[in-house]
Structure 1
């Protein structure tokens, strides 16, 4: 009877144990690398196989849906998500170089070399530095959008450490791939007009919220100005 009661307690206690093990409300921590301090969260047991999530342009670690993180953790992974340099809570340990986005776009249109304060390889090296600091030798990688480009560089830099590579809505930049959506810019402009119109009509109830969002957008734009030339210059070709 005691054995049956013990087994029942273990059986009914497993869901609550899994829920506590996969709690996404863990503290955000930082590791200091040569140029930047990287903010990250680690969800799951340290003994579980590690899965590194690499977010795209301007995306923070919190942009990985919690439901997805919990599901991956419950599959037996230690999920590690982090803020890339120039994003979120990750900070520079030294003053970052500036970039003139308009000038660099003009050079790109003319077929001239594009200068960038840092490259995708530098960002992949940040990811490796994070995993080194966490003493994780081998790990799986999941990258979305520009994060997929970083993930490709990461796999090329340390193939013996990357056990699997999953890429979402990204590209290698190889010749012959489908072109970008032709009307993407016009769609963005139309969406922006709709947002501005809605904001103006609702200005009395959301002015504070709108101002706070604009401040964040301006700060993010300053970071993206440094990063856009980098994506052009160092897109993986293989």
Structure 2
């Protein structure tokens, strides 16, 4: 089962005292604590926003969320399992290497701690806890993969799908560029100290929007994430969920809700072909390629992003 913990939203969405909890059943029979925050009025149509690999919910810029809320939506963000202030599956050991190799070579995949389906069930459980029957589901990167799973496994809960900087589980597309792969598979910082972690964040710029890169913003984001909930141990389990869930193109092709696929032409972590394949698979979907956008949400592009999202969700009335 999944246990949800509501937080009182603050300016930085940091650690907060909790208020009453509730439980729902989870597909993998674990007790999972999910930390979430909301923007806007609960009476408005809901947009459930799912963040990516090892990224805490605070990676969604608060002002970005508020723009959507100010347009008349109830915006919900949360920490995925094994990330942020949600449950950490301490002691569950996995070697992601053989799982990645098996997925990339179409070999039988070794057992994994949990799947994208389990993570999608966590997301739907947040809706259950909030008493929301249907929502617009939006995800970025790994969050986009989870959002896709929500759209085909929980169809009656999904009003629209927005998949950003993601791909459909196809090893032939959307793989990191060579420069990004070097960073992903590089040795970790020499220590887990705050200073080393923040210093290493400069490497992440390889997949950020080149036109809008900022050392200051990179360091500030890394510091905020470290201070809130530094937990590198969750990374291999989330990576195992991505690759261990295998090819999903057949399932993605059955998505029937209105779908918007957004991808940056400057994305080096999940290259543009990942978004293009996602759009090709989903009948009637729309593909928006954004020039100069990498694997991030640079503020100068917010008008384009929020405009596209709001136009998309407006076509379906709650």
State how 1:26-65 maps to structure 2 within 5 Å: 31-34=22-25, 35-65=31-61
State how 1:215-230 maps to structure 2 within 5 Å: 219-220=231-232, 222-230=233-241
Q: After superposition, what is the alpha-carbon deviation per residue over 1:79-104, rounded to whole angstroms, capped at 9, x for unaligned? A: 00000111111125x86632123444
Q: Tell whether the 8 Å contact from 2:98 to 2:110 is kept in structure 1 after alignment.
A: no
| TM-fit CA distance, 1:184 | 2.1
| TM-fit CA distance, 1:225 | 1.4
Of 180-189 and 38-47, deviating more is 180-189
> Aligned partners of 2:85 and 2:46: how far apart in 1?
22
State how 1:44-123 maps to structure 2 within 5 Å: 44-91=40-87, 97-105=92-100, 107-108=102-103, 111-123=107-119
Q: 1:169 aligns with which of 165, 180, 190?
A: 165
Q: Which has the higher helix share?
A: 1
What corresponds to 1:183 in structure 2?
Answer: 179
Q: Tell whether the 8 Å contact from 1:31 to 1:38 is kept in structure 2 after alignment.
A: no
SS in 2 for 1:160: helix
| TM-fit CA distance, 1:185 | 2.3
| TM-fit CA distance, 1:114 | 2.9
> Aligned partners of 2:38 and 2:242: how far apart in 1?
27
> Aligned partners of 1:102 and 1:175: how far apart in 2?
15
| TM-fit CA distance, 1:223 | 0.5
What corresponds to 1:231 in structure 2?
Answer: 242
> Aligned partners of 2:96 and 2:73: how far apart in 1?
39
| TM-fit CA distance, 1:71 | 0.3
Q: Tell whether the 8 Å contact from 2:115 to 2:242 is kept in structure 1 after alignment.
A: yes
SS in 2 for 1:184: helix
CA-based RMSD: 3.6
Q: Tell whether the 8 Å contact from 2:113 to 2:241 is kept in structure 1 after alignment.
A: yes
Q: In structure 2, do the counterparts of structure 1 residues 109 and 44 end up closer, same or farther at CA, with 3 Å as the change threshold?
A: closer
Of 156-165 and 134-143, deviating more is 156-165
Q: Which structure: larger Rg? A: 1
Matched length: 202
Q: After superposition, what is the alpha-carbon deviation per residue over 1:85-138, rounded to whole angstroms, capped at 9, x for unaligned? A: 11111125x866321234444555663423210000000000111101110001
The alignment's TM-score, normalised by the length of structure 1, stands at 0.71
SS in 1 for 2:178: coil
Q: Tell whether the 8 Å contact from 1:24 to 1:70 is kept in structure 2 after alignment.
A: no
